[in-house]
């Protein structure tokens, strides 16, 4: 009898407090799922701006440094900085000491190690885990026709955009091995090819000596994947997704970006949809394309034009970049799992003034870097 009475009291209590218990679990789960991890920058290294070979030589216009790279490559504790003024690649340690120079330097100094390789107008630079250096080398403006590239403000990672189209100068990609020797000249159709790259938006060295180049070819954006020998291994274009993107004549779609997993197993494609008549943004879709079996899987649909696909991590999560307009000095990286579920947020807090900060980028180790110019130095900051 006593056990029965106790059981009734327990059952009554459970019924009374169960709704509150379940609500608490839901609230805790929601807070956990959409929590924000605040990242702050710390100074990783800096390079002095100046006129000496051991400094980054830039142009000063109205007391403002110009012709400065938006981002640099960092690998094995070395910072690879393109010196556009001298058409050189300068490798510095984190203390700003020059370790070596790649290119034909006009200034000769006995204490500066130089690898004499003919470089054209330098574009993007990336470095593999094995310390192979990839340099986009452009021909001179007089030797090539300019290719106007259409501007799409919704494809930008931040609020900055230009009002004029850029000129795309044909280029090749030079692979320089860790001994400072030119080992490959890679064209858009691979090593030994003849088709130069036009407009190149992004170039990344992946795992297993892969190279990913997001560029324009025959009027359309393409991701070209090259293996360690410089051979064109695979290419991904908007036409590969057309069966999943067809929405009739009411909407028009455009390629935002293709970003590969660092291992090269699959690519995430980001596509923007606009109303055909009004030109207004409708949504953005992220679709997974598995390279081996060419299987296509819809992953995510985005309604806000300010949110863009940013990076694919080694653990198969991916980042969506979201500019926080209200706060001004921060951006948010939405963390999504491989199924497109929003699992976390990372906020990058830029110390003011925000205008000093330049590009923010990531490497194949999933490290986040930013760069800014301050007090005559190019500063590289790492986020943690």
The confidence score (pLDDT) of residue 63 equals 79
The confidence score (pLDDT) of residue 140 equals 58
The confidence score (pLDDT) of residue 326 equals 60
Could you tell me the pLDDT band of residue 247, with boundaries at 50, 70 and 90?
A: confident
pLDDT (tens digit, 9 = 90+) per residue, 93-146?
999 999 999 999 887 777 889 999 999 999 999 999 899 999 999 875 544 444
Return phi, psi of residue 131, to 5°.
70, 25
Cβ(87)–Cβ(67) below 8 Å: no
The confidence score (pLDDT) of residue 65 equals 85
Could you tell me the pLDDT band of residue 67, with boundaries at 50, 70 and 90?
A: confident
CATH of domain 35-142+157-383: 2.120.10.30
Q: How far apart are CA 268 and CA 326, in angstroms?
A: 29
What percent of the chain clears pLDDT 70, i.e. is strictly above it?
Answer: 83
Within 10 A of 381 (CB to CB), how many other CB atoms are there? 21
pLDDT (tens digit, 9 = 90+) per residue, 9-40?
445 554 555 445 444 444 444 444 568 999 99
Residue tagged 């999560």 (tokens): 317
11 DSSP 8-state letter: H
Sheet holding 211-217, edge to edge: 200-205, 211-217, 220-226, 232-237
3-state secondary structure of 303: coil
The confidence score (pLDDT) of residue 33 equals 54
Residue tagged 């107008």 (tokens): 121
Cβ(300)–Cβ(285) below 8 Å: yes
Token digits of residue 115: 């690898």
- The residue-averaged pLDDT of 189-213 equals 95
DSSP strand pairing (147-149 vs 200-205): unpaired
Cβ(89)–Cβ(103) below 8 Å: yes
Domain spans in the chain, listed from the N-terminal domain onward: 35-142+157-383
For residue 216, the Cα-to-chain-centroid distance in whole angstroms is 17
pLDDT (tens digit, 9 = 90+) per residue, 276-330?
999 999 999 999 999 999 999 999 999 999 999 999 999 999 999 998 766 568 9
Closest CA to 360 of 338, 340, 332, 335: 332
Question: How is 195-264 classified by DSSP, letter by letter?
Answer: --B--EEEEEE-GGG-EEEEEEETTEEEEEEE-TTS-EEEEEEGGGGHHHH---SSEEEEEEEEEE-TTS
User: Cβ neighbours of residue 16 under 8 Å, at least 6 residues apart?
Assistant: none
User: Above 60 in pLDDT, residue 226?
Assistant: yes
The confidence score (pLDDT) of residue 84 equals 93
Q: What is the pTM of this model?
A: 0.85
Task: Pick the more confident residue, 11 or 203.
Answer: 203
- The residue-averaged pLDDT of 79-101 equals 96
353 DSSP 8-state letter: P
Token digits of residue 145: 């026709």
On average, the pLDDT of the chain sits at 86
Q: Is 218 left (phi over 0), alpha (psi -120 to 50) or beta?
A: left
The confidence score (pLDDT) of residue 325 equals 65
Q: How far apart are CA 344 and CA 32, in angstroms?
A: 8
Q: Is 129 exposed, middle or buried (0-12, 13-18, 19+ CB in 10 A)?
A: middle
The confidence score (pLDDT) of residue 167 equals 61
Q: What is the largest CA-CA distance in the chain?
A: 100
The confidence score (pLDDT) of residue 327 equals 58
The confidence score (pLDDT) of residue 259 equals 98
User: Above 90 in pLDDT, residue 379?
Assistant: yes
User: Above 70 in pLDDT, residue 207?
Assistant: yes
Cβ(246)–Cβ(296) below 8 Å: no
- Of 14-18, 78-82, 96-100, 343-347, least confident by mean pLDDT is 14-18
């Amino acid at each position: 009898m006593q056990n029965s009475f106790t059981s009734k009291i327990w059952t009554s209590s459970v019924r009374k407090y169960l709704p509150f218990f379940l609500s608490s679990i839901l609230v805790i789960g929601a807070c956990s799922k959409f929590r924000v991890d605040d990242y702050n920058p710390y100074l990783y290294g800096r390079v002095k701006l100046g006129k000496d070979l051991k400094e980054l030589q830039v142009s000063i216009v109205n007391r403002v440094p110009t012709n400065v790279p938006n981002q640099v490559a960092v690998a094995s504790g070395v910072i690879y900085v393109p010196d556009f003024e001298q058409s050189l690649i300068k490798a510095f340690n984190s203390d700003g000491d020059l370790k070596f120079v790649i290119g034909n330097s006009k200034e000769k100094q006995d204490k500066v190690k130089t690898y004499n390789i003919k470089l054209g107008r330098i574009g993007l630079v990336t470095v593999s885990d094995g310390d192979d250096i990839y340099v986009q080398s452009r021909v001179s403006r007089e030797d090539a026709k300019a290719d106007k590239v259409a501007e799409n403000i919704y494809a930008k990672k931040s609020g900055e955009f230009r009002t004029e189209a850029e000129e795309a100068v044909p280029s090749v990609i030079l692979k320089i091995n860790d001994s400072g020797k030119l080992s490959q000249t890679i064209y858009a159709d691979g090593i030994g090819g003849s088709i130069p790259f036009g407009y190149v938006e992004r170039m990344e060295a992946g795992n297993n000596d892969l190279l990913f180049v997001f560029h324009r070819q025959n009027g359309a954006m393409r991701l070209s994947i090259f293996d360690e020998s410089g051979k064109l291994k695979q290419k991904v274009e908007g036409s590969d997704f057309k069966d999943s993107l067809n929405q009739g004549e009411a909407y028009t779609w455009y390629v935002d970006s293709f970003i590969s997993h660092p291992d090269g197993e699959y690519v995430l494609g980001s596509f923007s949809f606009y109303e055909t008549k009004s030109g207004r943004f409708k949504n953005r879709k992220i679709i997974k394309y598995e390279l081996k079996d060419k299987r296509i899987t819809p992953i995510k649909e985005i309604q806000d034009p300010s949110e863009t696909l940013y990076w694919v991590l080694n653990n198969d999560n991916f980042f969506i970049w979201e500019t926080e307009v209200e706060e001004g000095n921060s951006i948010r990286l939405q963390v999504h799992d491989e199924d497109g579920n929003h699992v976390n947020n990372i906020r990058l807090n830029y110390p003011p003034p925000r205008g000093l900060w330049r590009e923010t980028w990531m490497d194949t180790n999933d490290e986040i870097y930013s760069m800014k110019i301050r007090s005559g130095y190019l500063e590289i900051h790492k986020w943690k």
